[in-house]
Amino acid sequence: MIISIINSKGGVGKTTLSINLAHSLILRGFKTLIIDADTQGSARDWNAINEGKVIPTIGLDRKSLEQDIKSLSGFDYMIIDSAPNAKDMAVAAIKCSSVVLIPVQPSALDVWAASDLVALVKERQVIDSALRAAFVVNRRIQGSSTSKDIRTILADSELSVFKNGLHQRVAYSDSLAIGKTVQDVGGKARHEVELLVDELLEFIKND
């Protein structure tokens, strides 16, 4: 199954989400691959730090992604870490995906910025009714009611909105900086990733 993590806006935590979801799936026994579709190559840089020992990671950052990905096999899940500000790549990722996750920060600006992507997803769903899509609220502020308010606003898009998401925690940046994930360091960050993966698997199962 191919899961794309897409948002045209930069800085919403796509790579952080991709890497931590992938590692959690691997630890659950699923063969999982990260496809770095961003020319900046952040996921590949992270993979180089740990010498490729945590998650298989490759780069496919061309508009031919839809065709290139067909040569890959042997994985339960392939997670595409997409590029910001690249509509062609977003379209390509959506076309070859079974699930699209849209990470957004808890701000109205992020919600508005995602509107074009929502339109692309809905256009594809007309052709591919099996395509599933959901918002994930990223970088939540502990104790703030904003995330709840944003989830209510996102629901108006008619796409699913996950109950679980990631908070703003230094554990994410600190672990990635040394080629690890929060699955390695534990704590609240690891717990919320596990809850998110539980919800993702349930979302897939109920397809």
Q: What was the pLDDT predicted at 143?
A: 60
More confident position, 119 or 9: 119
What is the rounded average pLDDT of the residues 188-197?
96
Total domains present in the chain: 1
Instruction: Judge contact between 117 and 93, C-beta under 8 A.
Output: no
What is the rounded average pLDDT of the residues 82-99?
90
Split at pLDDT 50, 70, 90, the class of 85 is confident
Task: Quote the tokens at residue 98.
Answer: 């079974």
Q: Which domain holds residue 93?
A: 2-205
CATH number at residue 187: 3.40.50.300
Q: What was the pLDDT predicted at 140?
A: 77
Split at pLDDT 50, 70, 90, the class of 165 is very high
> Could you tell me which residues are beta bridge partners of residue 103?
136
Predicted model pTM: 0.92
Q: Which helix (H) or strand (E) segment is 184 a member of?
A: helix 182-185
